[in-house]
Amino acid sequence: MADSSTVPRRAYDNRTRAQKAAQTRERIVAAGSELVHEFESWDWRGLTFRAVAVRAGVGERTVYRHFPTERHLHDAVMARLEAEAGVRYEDVTLANLGEVTRRVFASLQRFSVRESLPTPRDSAFVSSDERRREALQRAVAEAAPELPDAQRNAVAGLLDVLWSPASYERLVGGWGLRGEDATRAIEWLMAQVVKAIQPDDGDVCITSVE
């Protein structure tokens, strides 16, 4: 029979191991975030186990223990980027969409990426894109449940195009707008789209899509 005095020690050891594992995972994700901030494109093929391990100062096997595949690693880094930008897709509504967009565009200025086109194909970006579309579709449906599906999709699609980093980059790179001016312009246009489905007279302005 084990000495009862060893039980608290064992519990302490387990907590210590769990704490160290959490700290190591945090260091790995932080290293991934640092790396993608330095990339000149959204191509994450350079975000490998080896690259992250070197940046985090751990062995590749340690990274594997926390993330079985590179997709798991990329998803964790994407979640970190969204958290850093203050984005929670499940909380998006038409009322706060402008503020969320402002935070996203502000976060872009901390990256070395020159442009977002072509659309990234990494699974982390595909997953984030799907969640953004679902958030917009839900927000539009909640704000204008009376609209036909096709019109709701059209409105959500317009908002998605405006929210896209490519729209922001076009205004900044192609038209020479300052970052804050590009953000304000996109926020203003988003507000016009929202007004189109919430007019004072009750007549929806977007009627060409059936």
What secondary structure does DSSP assign to 116-141, as a single string? -PSPP--HHHHHHHHHHHHHHHHHHH
pLDDT-based confidence at residue 182 (cuts at 50, 70, 90): very high
Angle at the Cα of 103 (from 101 to 104), degrees rounded to 5? 65
Over residues 55-80, mean pLDDT: 95
pLDDT-based confidence at residue 202 (cuts at 50, 70, 90): low
Quick one: pLDDT at residue 199?
60
Quick one: pLDDT at residue 112?
84
Over residues 55-78, mean pLDDT: 95
Average pLDDT, the chain: 86
Are 164 and 199 spatial neighbours (Cβ–Cβ below 8 Å)? no
Quick one: pLDDT at residue 17?
86
Element (H, E) at 210: none
Q: Of 60, 1, 53, which Cα lies nearest the Cα of 30?
A: 53
**pLDDT over 80 (residue 75):** yes
Over residues 174-202, mean pLDDT: 87
pLDDT higher for 49 or 10? 49
Over residues 38-57, mean pLDDT: 93
CB neighbours (10 Å) of residue 141? Answer: 15
In angstroms, the CA 34 to CA 134 distance is: 28
Residue extents of the structural domains in the chain: 1-85, 87-210
pLDDT-based confidence at residue 210 (cuts at 50, 70, 90): low
Which residue type occupies 39? F
Are 47 and 35 spatial neighbours (Cβ–Cβ below 8 Å)? yes
Lowest mean pLDDT among 63-77, 79-93, 115-129: 115-129
Quick one: pLDDT at residue 27?
97
pLDDT higher for 75 or 203? 75
**pLDDT over 60 (residue 203):** no
Burial class of residue 202 (count of CB atoms within 10 Å of its CB; 0-12, 13-18, 19+)? exposed
Task: Tell me the fold of 1-85.
Answer: Tetracycline Repressor; domain 2 (1.10.357)
pTM (2 decimals)?
0.69
Quick one: pLDDT at residue 51?
97
9: left (phi over 0), alpha (psi -120 to 50) or beta: alpha
Which residue reads 């984030």 in tokens?
Answer: 128
